Structure 1
Amino acid sequence: MPKKLLATLLACAIAVALHAQQPKDAKMDVFITQLMKKMTIDEKIGQLNLQTEGDIVTGSGGNSLSTERIKKGLVGGMFNIKGAAKIRAIQKIAVEQSRLKIPVLFGMDVIHGYETVFPIPLGLACTWDMPAIEQSARIAAIEASADGICWTFSPMVDITRDPRWGRVAEAGGEDPYLGGQIAKAMVTGYQGRDNFSSNTDIMSCVKHFALYGAVEAGRDYNPADMSTFRMFNDYLYPYQAAIDAGAGSVMASFNSVNGTPAHANRWLLTDVLRKQWDFKGFTVADYDGVGELVSHGMGNIQQVSARALKAGLDVDMVSEGYLSTLKKSYQEGKVTLAEIDAACRRMLEAKYKLGLFANPYKYCHESRASKSVYTPEHLAIARKTAAESFVLLKNAQNLLPLKPGKTIAVIGPLANTRSNMVGTWSVAADLTKPATVVEGLQAAAGPDTKIIYAKGSNLFADSTLEANGTMFGRKLNRDNRSDANLRAEAIQAADKADVIVAVMGEASEMSGESSSRTDISIPDVQEDLLKELVKTGKPVVLVLFTGRPLTLVWEDKNVPAILNVWFGGSEAANAIGDVVYGKVSPSGKLVSTFPRSVGQIPLYYNNFSTGRPASDHGFEKFRSNYMDEKNAPLYPFGYGLSYTHFAYGDVKLSASEFSAKSNVTAAIEVKNDGEDDGDEIVQLYIHQRVGSAVRPVKELKGFQRIHLKAGEVKTVRFTIDNDMLKYYNAELAYKAEPGDFDIMIGTNSRDVKSAKLTLK
C-alpha cells in the first residue's frame, strides 16, 4: 500500500475515533454543566456527602438515613445497603421527591465476591492467574449489580511487606509488578470493557491511596514514611496501573505520608494522582477519614474539611464535615466555589458514566438477583479458583494426596466451622451456607473413608483473644472444657485413625482491618495440640488457615505435609477436599515471603544488597546479619510445591546484546518429570548489575501459568524490551540505563536459572 494512502487512511481512522469519543464526552459535559447551573451551593455540597444506613457498619460510628435530607439533595451516595428492593425505595425518593431528581450512588465493600465468595485477595493473588482473578471480579460485579450495587470499594492494591498488619489479607502481596497486573485484572472485571454499557458493570474504587501497606510496626492506621525513590519504585505502581486500566474512583488512606495525612495530602491527591497520572475520576474518603484529621492534629472539623477539599478529596464518607462546614468555609473565603464545583462535577460525572441519569433504576431488578446471585455456575468457578489459590508448603514422602478408604482423624478448631471459610471482608455472604472442612473432606473421600472429628482445642487459650479473633458472627462456639480434656479427646481420635488432618491457624477475623498481631505464629493452644498430634507417630497433614504469612519454623521441621489454604471463600471446604484427595494438584505460589521470625520483618525478596552482605556460612561479625537467626526466609516469594515435579533447563537468549529500540527473547524448557499432570507458574526475574542508584537483587518482570501433562516438555518464552528495564532513578526520572543484566527464570524467586544480557 502506498505510504501516502496509508497515512490518509490512518488520519481518517483517528478522526473517526475522535469523532466517536467527542460527542459522548461533550454530551456529558453539557448535561452536567446545565445541571450544575440549577444547583444551589447546598445541593452541590450534598453531592459530596456519602453516608451509610443500616445493613453493615464498617467503622466505629455511623449515621442514619434522613428522608428529608435526600429530598433536599443533600446525599450524594450511600453504601453497604443490601438488596435491590431497599435500594430502589431509596432511589425513588431521590429521583421523584428531590428538586433536581439527582440519583444516589450506591456502593458496598464487595472485596472478594458478593454472595459467591472467592478466596481472600492474598489467596486470590497466589493463583497468579489473571484471567481467573478478572473472572472473580466479573462474577462479583454481576451479583452485586443484580442486588442494586453500582460501586465497589475494591481493589485494594497496597504493597504489603509486614505480615503483622492484618490487612495483608486484603492485598496482593509484596511485589509491585504482580500487584499491578492484579489491579488491572480486578478493575477490568468490575467495570467491564465497554464504558459501563451493561447493567452488570460497576465502578471500582482503588484503595488505599497511598502507602497504607507500609504502616509503621504493622499497626493499623499508623503513619507510613519512606523516600520518594522507594515510593515510585516499589509502592505506587499498582495504583497507577489501576488508573491506567480506567478505575473510576480512588479512596484515600488512613495513614499520613511525609507528615501529612493522606486525606489532606495535596501532593498525593492532586500532584501525583491528577497531574502526573491524569486521573479523571473522583476521590473519596475512607470511613470517617475527614473527621479523623482532627485526631491527627490538623485542626477542627471545619478546618480539616476545607483542607481535605483543597487537597483534592472530592467525597466525604460519613464524617459529614463537608455537609456541615463547607458552606461556612466558602462564605468565609476558606474554600472557593470552583473547588466545590470541581468535586461536585466529578461525582455527577460518575453517575452519568454509570447511566444513572438515563435510568436511575438500572441496577434495581429483584428478578435478576434471584437468577444471578450464588448460582451453581458461580460456585463451580469459585471452587476451581480456591483450589488454585492453595499453596503446598511441604509434602514429605509424598504424604499428599491422601488415598480414599483410610480412617482420617480431622482435628482442630477450624475443622467444623462454616462461618470462617469465607474469610474477612465478605460482608454480603450468608455464613450458614459454606460446607465445613469435615464435610468437604468426606465428600471428596467418599463413603469408604471414615472420618473421626475432634475439636482438640479452642482458637486461643485466652477467651478474650478468641473473642477478638471471631468478630462479626464468625464464632467458633468456644468449648468450656479444659485444654487438657480437649487434647485428650483429640488424641483418642488420632489413635483410631490412619492419618491425622489438623485444621488449624487463624480464624477469619484474626486478619483484616484492625487485626494487627505481634505474634504471627499459630496460636498457643493450637500449637500445643499440634505437637501432641505429631508425637503420636501418625502421619500429620496440617491444613493451615491464615490471612497472612506465619512463622512456621517448628511446623516445617516436624509436620510432614503443610497445605496453606488461606480462606478460600464459599467453596473453600470442597476445594480443600479436591486438593487433599488429589482431584486437583496444588499450584499456588506465595506472593508474600514467609519469615522465620518476627524479628526479620520487613522481609521481602526484592531487597537491596548492602556494602557488607551476609555470607552463606552462618553469623559473621561486621556483616549484615543476625546473631540469632538466618537472613533467609522460611519460604521465599514465588514458592509453592505440586504433586508432580518440574525440571527447568537453561535460559537461552535470542541475543546477548540489544538496544533501546529492539528486544530479546528469553526461553527456557520446562519438563514435568513427575507422574501426575500439573500447573506450573514460570517466573521471570531481572537484576541490573550496575546502576546510577542501588538496584534490587532481583525484580519480577513476567510470569506464565502453564499446564503440563506427565512427561510433557514446553518451551516458555518471555520478550524483554527497554521498558522492562526502566526504573525511577535518584532524580525520579523513569528510564533504562545501559549495562549488564541478569535474566533469571525459575520456579520461585530463590531457585532460578540465569543468563547475562547487555543493554547497549
Structure 2
Amino acid sequence: MKPMKYYILFFLFLITFGVSAQKNKMPYKDASLSIEERVNDLLPRLSLEEKVAQMRIFHANIGVKSDEKGNMELSDRVIEKLKLGIAGIKNPGEHISPLAAAKLNNELQKYIIENNRWGIPAMFVTESYNGVDAEGCTKFGRPITSAASFNPDLVRRVWDVVGKEARLRGMHMCHSPEADLVRDPRFGRMSEAFGEDTYLTTQMVVNAIKGVQGNYEGLGNGTHIGAVAKHFAGYGQVLGGSNFAAIEISPRTLIDEIYPPFEAAVKEARTLGIMASHGDLNGIASHGNPELLTGILRDQWGFDGYVVSDSNDIARLYYFMKVAESPEAAALLGLTAGIDIDLYAEDSYAYLPEMVKKDPSIEKMIDRSVKRVLRTKMILGLFDNPYVNIKKVEKEVRSQASLSLAQEADLESIILLKNEANTLPLQKGTQKIALLGPLLNEGTKEAFESVAGNKVTFTADKGFELTDQNTGVPQLLETSDSTIDKMVGMAKEADVTILFLGGDEFTSKEAFFNNALGDRASIDPVGAQDELIEKIKGLGKTVIVVLKHRRTLSINTIADKADAILDGWDLSELGDSSLARIIFGEVSPSGKSPVTVPRSIGQIPFHYSMKEINYKKGYLFLEDGPLYPFGHGLSYSQFEYGDLKISNDMITPNTELTVSTTITNIGKMKAKEVVQMYIKDDIGSVTRPDKELKGFKKIELSPGESKKVSFTITPRMLEFTGLTMDKILETGDYTIMIGTSSQDVKTTKFRLEK
C-alpha cells in the first residue's frame, strides 16, 4: 500500500504543478504581449462576481493592519472581500512608518495574489494634500500654498517626490490632485486645490500629474504612482460654500473656466484616473451623468483611464441626491454614466451580480469598466512586478534632498502682502522679539533661533487655542482677558512682536457626510485674534503678522494694524524655518496670491476674472475692490517694468504675435519676480471676463540687472464659447496687460481679423 500512496501523491503533484504551469503560460501573464492583448485574454476568464470585485475599493480601516511584531492581520470581513480579488484598497499602512508600510503592503499584495483564482494584484490608493498623506513621508505645503509660487516646474518636482515616496511604501494610485477651481472661501476644502484661476490651476495640475506619474514613464517601471484628477466637475462651486450642496454654473462658464484643467489633465498629463464630483450640473447628478463622464470625458477628450466614484456617491444617487428610485437603480445610473469603480459602498455595485441575472445586457457595461481597471493595473506593472523593494525605503523616503525641496517650495510660496516703511527684513543684530499667537507651533521658537543667531533673544507664548480641536464639529473657545494681558505684557518687553494668526486644520476642513462640519458662514478670523493685534499695536511698537490658514480670510483689522504681513497659507514641515529665513532677509519673498482676498464675505462671489459688469457698483459702507488682488505679492527689492512692445498689432486665426517687456531690478537685493500677462476681450458677442491670466514667468534678477520677458499670443488663447455654444474666435480689439499683479499692469492693444 505504501508505494500506492506515493503514486497518488506524485500524481497530485503533477496535477498541481501542471495547473500552475498552465496558469503561468496564460497570455495575460506574458509581459511580451501588448496590454490590450493581455487584458482581452484575462477578462473572459473571470466570473461575473470576480469582475464586479475588480470594480470596488474598500478602506483599510475595516481590518488591514500590522501587529506588534509587524505581521499582517486581516479581519474576517477583509478576508471575505479578498476571496474574489479586489480593484483596490484605500490607505493600507497609512499610520505606520514607510518601512513598516512597505512590508505590510508587500505581504498584503502577496496574500491578494495568492488568494484569488487568477492572481490579480490590487491597487493601493492614497491621497496627497501635504505630500503623501501617510506617516513618515515628507510633509510639503498644501496645493494652494504651492500655487502661490507661480512656479509649475517646482510643483512638478514636489509631486515627483510624492510619487516616488508613495510607490516606495507600496502605493499605486492617489486620489489627487484637485483640478477644481476654488472661488468661495466659505468652502472648507479650499486649500486642497490650486486657487481661483483657470490658467494657473491648469498649469499646476498638469505639472502635479506629470510629477506624481514620473512623466508617465514612472508608472510601469515601478518608481511612481498614478494620479486621479478630481472632482469632475465643478465641485469647488458648491452653493453657499457648503460641502454636498447643489452647484449652479452656467454652461458657458463650465466650458470656458471649469473644464480646461480637467481637459489638460487628460490630454497633456495623461492622468490614469478621474474622480466624479459630489455635485450636480444643471440638475444632473455628476455620478449619473453620461454626457459628462462619457460624452465629454471620453468621446470628446479621449480619456482611456478609469473613473472612480467619490466616497459612497453612487449609492447616494438614491438616498441623498434622490435621482434614483432604488439602490439598484442608482448602481445602474452610475454604471451607465461611466463610473468604473465604486469607492467604499456596500449598497451599490455590490448588487450588480444579482442585477445581471435579471438583465444580462448589464454585463457588457461591467466588462467595459473591468477592462479599464485591468488595463490600469497593467500600466502600473502590477502583474509583472507587484512588490516594493524594501531596501530603498528608509534611504529614499523623507531624504534630505526631499526636505530641502520642501523648504525651497516654501520660500517661493510665501507672500509678502504688506511691508509698511520697509519693516522687513529684520536685522540679526541685538534685539528682543516676542513670538505670540494661536498659530504658533511648538517648534517655532527653536526654528527662529536657529536662523537668527545668538544676538537675537526670543520669547514665545501661544496664548490660546482657537477651538477645542474636535475633529467632527469643533467648538470655538473663549479667551480670557488675563491671557490677552499676559501676551500684551510680553510684547511690551520686546522690541518687535511677530504674531502668528489665521486659522488651522480645525477651522477649515472637509465637511464629511455624517457628523462633521468644515465650512464656515463667515471668513473673519475666529476668536480673539483681532483684539490681540489691536492691543499689541496700541503699544506703539513694530508688529509683524505671519498668516497661517487653509481658507482666504477677510483680515481687515490685521491689514490695518500690522506693519508687515507674510502670508504662508499652510507650509511644509520646515515652514517656520522658511518664514524665519524670509523675515531675517536670507531670501526675498516671491509668492503671489492665487486668490482674490475680499474685504467682506458680502462681496462673494469675488474673483479677479469676473465679468466687467460685476465691477460697476460697489456696496454701501464698504470700500470698493479687494483687500488684496489676485497675483499680488511684494518683494524686498523693487522691479521696474518697461513699456510693452508688440510684434504686430494684428493677429489672424492662422498667425501668432509676441509681446515683450524689460524688467529691471532697481532695488538692492537679489530677488524673484512673477511677470503676469492678462488679456481682455474689449467687446464680445457675449459678456466676457474683465481680464484673464494667459501667461506668467518667474524670473530672478540681481540688483541693477534687466531681463527681457516675452509672451507668445496664439489664436487659441482668444477662443471662447459663443452665442451658439460653440468655441469661436471673434473679430475685435483686445487689451494685453503685463505686470506684477492683476491690478498693477502696463497695457497695449492688438486686433483680431479673419
Same fold (TM over 0.5): yes
CA change 1:317–1:71 in 2 (3 A) is closer
Matched residue of 1:524: which SS?
coil
Decide whether aligned partners of structure 1 residues 279 and 24 sit closer, same or farther in structure 2, where only a CA change above 3 A counts. Answer: farther
The question of 1:398 aligning with 2:422 is answered yes
- Which of 712, 730, 750 aligns to 1:737? It is 730
Offset of 1:658 from its aligned partner?
2.5
Shift in alpha-carbon separation, 1:127–1:315, aligned structure 2, 3 A: same
Whether 1:445 and 2:452 are equivalent positions in the alignment is yes
Q: SS of the residue aligned with 1:143?
A: helix
Q: Secondary structure at the match of 2:190?
A: helix
Matched, 1:292 2:316: yes
The change in CA–CA distance for 1:410 and 1:469 in structure 2 (over 3 A counts) is farther
SS at match of 1:516: coil
Match of 2:262 among 239, 250, 255: 239
Query: Is 1:206 the equivalent of 2:209?
Result: no
Structure-to-structure mapping, 1:549-698, within 5 angstroms: 549-610=552-613, 614=616, 624-698=617-691
3-state SS of the aligned residue for 1:630? coil
Shift of 1:111: 2.7
2:38 aligned with 1:35: no
Distance 1:64 1:272 in 2: 41
CA distance in 2 between counterparts of 1:300 and 1:95 reads: 35
Q: In the alignment, residue 305 of structure 1 is paired with which amino acid?
A: A
Partner-residue secondary structure (3-state), 2:61: coil
Q: 1:711 aligns with which of 699, 704, 709?
A: 704
Determine the C-alpha separation between the residues in 1 that align with 2:220 and 2:117: 27
C-alpha deviation, 1:287, in angstroms:
1.3
How far apart are the structure 2 equivalents of 1:498 and 1:146? 48
Deviation at 1:401, TM superposition (A): 1.0
Deviation at residue 693 of structure 1 after TM alignment = 1.6
Counterparts of 1:103 and 1:468 in 2: how far apart (Å)? Answer: 34
1:14 aligns with: none
* Structure 1 residue runs of 4 or more that deviate by more than 6 Å after TM superposition: 23-26
Counterpart for residue 116 of structure 1: 138
| Contact in 2 for aligned 1:126/1:391 (Cα 8 Å) | yes
Task: Supply the distance in 2 between the matched residues of 1:314 and 1:596 (Cα, whole angstroms).
Answer: 44
Kindly provide the amino acid, as one letter, of the partner of residue 598 in structure 1.
Answer: I
- 1:325 aligned partner: 351
Query: Structure 1's 738 and 558: CA in aligned 2 closer, same or farther, altered over 3 A?
Result: same
Partner of 1:81: 92
Q: 1:722 is matched with which residue?
A: 715
* 1:459–1:526 CA contact under 8 A, matched in 2: no
TM-aligned CA deviation for residue 281 of structure 1: 0.3
Counterparts in 2 of 1:596 and 1:343: CA distance versus 1, 3 Å = same
Q: CA deviation at 1:26?
A: 7.0
* Distance in 1, Cα, partners of 2:732 & 2:481: 64
Amino acid at match of 2:481: A
- Of 77, 83, 87, which residue of structure 2 is paired with 1:66? 77
Matched residue, 2:290? 266
**Cross-structure match for 2:385:** 359
1:138 aligns with: 160
Report whether the alignment pairs 1:313 with 2:339.
Answer: yes
Deviation larger for 142-151 or 517-526: 517-526
Work out whether residues 402 and 581 of structure 1, in 8 Å CA contact, stay in contact via their aligned partners in 2: yes
Give the residue type in structure 2 aligned to 1:349.
Answer: R
TM-score, structure 1 length as denominator? 0.88
Structure 2: which amino acid aligns with 1:310?
T
Change in CA separation of 1:607 and 1:656 when aligned onto 2, cut-off 3 Å: same
Name the SS for the 2:470 alignment partner: helix
Of 529, 533, 546 in structure 2, the residue corresponding to residue 530 of structure 1 is 533
More divergent stretch after superposition (705-714 vs 67-76): 67-76
Residues 451-460 or 517-526, more deviating: 451-460
Identical-residue share of aligned pairs (%): 32
Count of matched residue positions in the alignment of Structure 1 and Structure 2: 693
2: distance between equivalents of 1:125 and 1:717? Answer: 22
The one-letter code sitting in structure 1 at the alignment partner of 2:441 is N
Query: RMSD of the alignment, in Å?
Result: 2.1
Counterpart for residue 372 of structure 1: 396
From the superposition, tell whether residues 707 and 613 of structure 1 become closer, same or farther in structure 2 (CA, over 3 Å). closer
Equivalent in the alignment of 1:748? 741
Shift of 1:127: 0.2
Matches of 1:95 and 1:409, distance apart in 2? 58
2:196 is matched with 174
Deviation at 1:469, TM superposition (A): 8.6
Q: CA 1:626–1:665 in structure 2 vs 1: closer, same or farther (change >3 Å)?
A: same
Give the distance between the partners of 1:470 and 1:525, measured in 2 at CA.
Answer: 20
For residue 730 of structure 1, report the CA deviation from its aligned partner.
Answer: 2.8
From the superposition, tell whether residues 539 and 147 of structure 1 become closer, same or farther in structure 2 (CA, over 3 Å): same
Q: How far 1:24 moved relative to its partner?
A: 9.4
- Report the equivalent of 2:501: 504
2: CA distance between counterparts of 1:27 and 1:670?
52
- 1:496 CA drift (Å): 1.3
Deviation at 1:275, TM superposition (A): 1.1
Task: State the alpha-carbon separation in 1 of the partners of residues 40 and 350 from structure 2.
Answer: 25
Q: Sort the Cα spacing of 1:161 and 1:517 in 2 relative to 1 into closer, same or farther, 3 A.
A: same
Letter in 2 for 1:149: M
Q: Is the 8 A contact 2:63 2:77 kept in 1?
A: no
Q: In structure 2, what residue type is equivalent to 1:752?
A: V
Q: Does 1:301 align with 2:331?
A: no
Report what 1:54 is aligned to. 61
Q: For 1:526 and 1:77, locate their aligned partners in 2 and report how far apart those are by CA, in whole Å.
A: 45
Specify the code of the residue in structure 1 equivalent to 2:305. Answer: G
Q: Name 1:222's counterpart in structure 2.
A: 245
Correspondence 1:415 to 2:426: no
CA contact under 8 A between 2:331 and 2:349: conserved in structure 1? no
CA contact 2:54–2:87 (8 Å) conserved in 1? yes
Q: Name the aligned partner's letter for residue 79 of structure 1.
A: K
Distance 1:36 1:747 in 2: 56
Find the residue that maps to 2:189 and give its secondary structure. helix
Is the Cα contact below 8 Å between 1:42 and 1:74 reproduced in 2? no
CA offset digits 1:431-477 (Å, max 9, x no partner): xxxxx2222211111121110112233315xx4xx535998xxx99x
Amino acid at match of 2:206: K
Query: 2:390, 2:61 → 1: CA distance?
Result: 19
The change in CA–CA distance for 1:55 and 1:146 in structure 2 (over 3 A counts) is farther
Residues 52 and 78 in structure 1, CA contact (< 8 A), matched pair in contact too: yes
Answer whether contact 1:662 1:722 (CA < 8 A) is retained. yes
Match in the other structure for 1:432: none
Query: What letter corresponds to residue 262 of structure 1 in structure 2?
Result: S
Letter in 2 for 1:216: L
Q: How many angstroms does 1:371 deviate by?
A: 1.0
Work out which of the residue numbers 448, 456, 461 in structure 2 matches 1:454. Answer: 461
* Residue identity in the other structure for 1:52: H
Structure-2 change in CA distance of 1:468 and 1:94 (3 Å): closer
How does 1:452-491 map onto structure 2 within 5 Å?
452-460=459-467, 463=468, 466-467=469-470, 483-491=480-488
1:414 and 1:507 in contact (8 A); partners too: yes
> Within 1, Cα distance between the matches of 2:406 and 2:741?
26
Partner secondary structure for residue 693 of structure 2: strand
What SS is found at the alignment partner of 2:320? coil
Partners of 2:485 and 2:32 lie apart in 1 by 70
User: Partners in 1 of 2:76 and 2:562 — Cα distance?
Assistant: 53
Q: Which residue does 1:148 correspond to in 2? A: 170
- Answer whether contact 2:85 2:120 (CA < 8 A) is retained: no
Shift of 1:106: 0.6
- State the secondary structure of the residue aligned to 2:405: helix
| Runs of 5+ consecutive residues of structure 2 not aligned to the other structure | 1-29, 65-73, 94-100, 512-517
Shift of 1:335: 5.6
Cα separation, 1, equivalents of 2:552 and 2:612:
23
How far, CA to CA, are the matches of 2:494 and 2:130 in structure 1?
A: 37
Instruction: Select the residue among 180, 188, 195 that pairs with 2:210.
Output: 188
Matched, 1:254 2:278: yes
